[in-house]
Amino acid sequence: MRIREIETTPYEDQRPGTSGLRKRVATFAQPRYLENFIQSVLDVLPERDGATLVLGGDGRYHNDHAIQVVLKMAAANGVGRVLVGRGGLLSTPATSCLIRRHSADGGIVLSASHNPGGPHGDFGVKVNGPNGGPAPERLTEAIYARSRAITSYRIAEAQDVALDRTGEARLGKMAIEVVDPVAEYAALMERLFDFDAIAGLLRSTSFRMRFDAMHAVTGPYALEILERRLGAPPGTVVNGTPLPDFGGEAPDPNRVHARALVAHLYGPQAPDFGAACDGDGDRNMILGRCFFVSPSDSVALLAANAHLVPGYRAGLAGVARSMPTSRALDRVAERLGIRCYETPTGWKHFGNLLDAGLITLCGEESFGTGSSHLREKDGLWAVLFWLNLLAARCEPVAQIVRAHWRTFGRHYYSRHDYEGVEPQAARRLTEDLRARLGDLRGARFGEDVVREADDFSYTDPVDHTTASGQGIRLFLADGARVVYRLSGTGTEGATLRVYLERFEPEPSRQDADAQEALADLARLADEIAGIRARLGREAPSVVT
Residues that bind Co ion (CB under 5 A): 113, 278, 280, 282-283
- Amino acid identity at 143: I
Give the one entry of Co ion, ligand VG1, none that residue 488 binds, where binding means its C-beta sits below a cut-off of 5 to 8 angstroms depending on kind: ligand VG1
Asked if residue 487 binds ligand VG1 (CB under 6 A), the reply is: yes
C-alpha distances (whole Å) from 313 to each of 193, 307, 308, 350, 368 are 10, 4, 6, 21, 22
User: Binding ligand VG1 by CB under 6 A: which of 296, 489, 491, 544?
Assistant: 489
Nearer to Co ion, 264 or 283 (CB): 283
- Nearby residues of 182 by Cβ (< 8 Å), 6 or more positions away: 94, 220, 221, 224, 225
The SS3 call for residue 392 is: helix
The SS3 call for residue 84 is: strand
Catalytic residue among 40, 111, 113, 296: 113
Asked if residue 366 binds ligand VG1 (CB under 6 A), the reply is: yes
Quote the CA–CA distance of 215 and 245 in Å, as a whole number.
8
Q: What secondary structure does DSSP assign to 223-265, as a single string?
A: IIIIIIIT-PPTTSEES-S--TTGGGS----STTTTHHHHHHH
CA atoms within 13 A on the CB side of 132: 23
Contact region with ligand VG1 (CB under 6 A), list: 100-108, 159-167, 340-348, 405-413: 340-348
Give the one entry of Co ion, ligand VG1, none that residue 212 binds, where binding means its C-beta sits below a cut-off of 5 to 8 angstroms depending on kind: none
Nearer to ligand VG1, 25 or 391 (CB): 25
Asked if residue 481 binds ligand VG1 (CB under 6 A), the reply is: no
Please report the sign of the dihedral spanned by the C-alpha atoms of residue 418, residue 419, residue 421, residue 423.
positive
366 is catalytic: no
Nearer to ligand VG1, 122 or 272 (CB): 122
Asked if residue 283 binds ligand VG1 (CB under 6 A), the reply is: yes
- Nearby residues of 507 by Cβ (< 8 Å), 6 or more positions away: 405, 406
CB 136 within 8 A of CB 348: yes
User: Binding ligand VG1 by CB under 6 A: which of 114, 264, 473, 534?
Assistant: 114
CB 348 within 8 A of CB 376: no
Q: Which H helix or E strand runs over 472?
A: strand 472-476
b/e sequence 468-494, b meaning 16+ C-beta within 10 Å: eebbbbbbbeeebbbbbbbbebbbeeb
- How many of the other CB atoms lie within 10 Å of CB of 458? 17
User: Binding ligand VG1 by CB under 6 A: which of 278, 297, 330, 501?
Assistant: 278
Contact region with ligand VG1 (CB under 6 A), list: 52-60, 79-87, 275-283, 401-409: 275-283
Which residue, among 415, 2, 348, has the nearest Cα to 171 in the 3D structure? 2
CB 423 within 8 A of CB 487: no
> Site residues for ligand VG1, window 317-336 (CB under 6 A)?
322
Asked if residue 136 binds ligand VG1 (CB under 6 A), the reply is: no
Contact region with ligand VG1 (CB under 6 A), list: 59-67, 343-351, 380-388, 450-458: 343-351
Residues in the interface with ligand VG1 (CB under 6 A) total 18
Asked if residue 107 binds ligand VG1 (CB under 6 A), the reply is: no
Quote the CA–CA distance of 356 and 351 in Å, as a whole number.
9
Cα 177 to the center of its chain, rounded Å = 27
The SS3 call for residue 532 is: helix
Nearer to Co ion, 217 or 293 (CB): 217
Give the one entry of ligand VG1, Co ion, none that residue 364 binds, where binding means its C-beta sits below a cut-off of 5 to 8 angstroms depending on kind: ligand VG1
Q: At closest approach, how far in Å is the CB of 157 from ligand VG1?
A: 34
> Site residues for ligand VG1, window 5-24 (CB under 6 A)?
18-19
Q: At closest approach, how far in Å is the CB of 287 from ligand VG1?
A: 18
CB 186 within 8 A of CB 225: yes
Give the one entry of Co ion, ligand VG1, none that residue 366 binds, where binding means its C-beta sits below a cut-off of 5 to 8 angstroms depending on kind: ligand VG1
Asked if residue 122 binds ligand VG1 (CB under 6 A), the reply is: no
What are the backbone dihedrals phi and psi of residue 215, each rounded to the nearest 5 degrees, phi first? 60, 30
Give the one entry of ligand VG1, Co ion, none that residue 210 binds, where binding means its C-beta sits below a cut-off of 5 to 8 angstroms depending on kind: none
Give the one entry of Co ion, ligand VG1, none that residue 252 binds, where binding means its C-beta sits below a cut-off of 5 to 8 angstroms depending on kind: none
* Strand arrangement, sheet containing 361-364: 339-343, 318-322, 361-364, 368-371
Q: At closest approach, how far in Å is the CB of 413 from Co ion?
A: 20
Quote the CA–CA distance of 434 and 452 in Å, as a whole number.
13
Contact region with ligand VG1 (CB under 6 A), list: 239-247, 260-268, 328-336, 482-490: 482-490
Nearer to ligand VG1, 40 or 113 (CB): 113
Asked if residue 116 binds ligand VG1 (CB under 6 A), the reply is: no
Quote the CA–CA distance of 405 and 369 in Å, as a whole number.
19
Contact region with ligand VG1 (CB under 6 A), list: 97-105, 360-368, 504-512, 522-530: 360-368
- Nearby residues of 187 by Cβ (< 8 Å), 6 or more positions away: none
Map residues 423-462 to x or -, x wherever contact with ligand VG1 holds by CB under 6 A: ----------------------------------------
Asked if residue 294 binds ligand VG1 (CB under 6 A), the reply is: no
Contact region with ligand VG1 (CB under 6 A), list: 158-166, 214-222, 331-339, 341-349: 341-349
Give the one entry of ligand VG1, Co ion, none that residue 19 binds, where binding means its C-beta sits below a cut-off of 5 to 8 angstroms depending on kind: ligand VG1
Tell me 512's DSSP state: S
Catalytic residues: 113
**Binding-site ranges for ligand VG1 (CB under 6 A):** 18-19, 113-114, 278, 282-283, 322, 345-347, 364, 366, 368, 487-489, 497
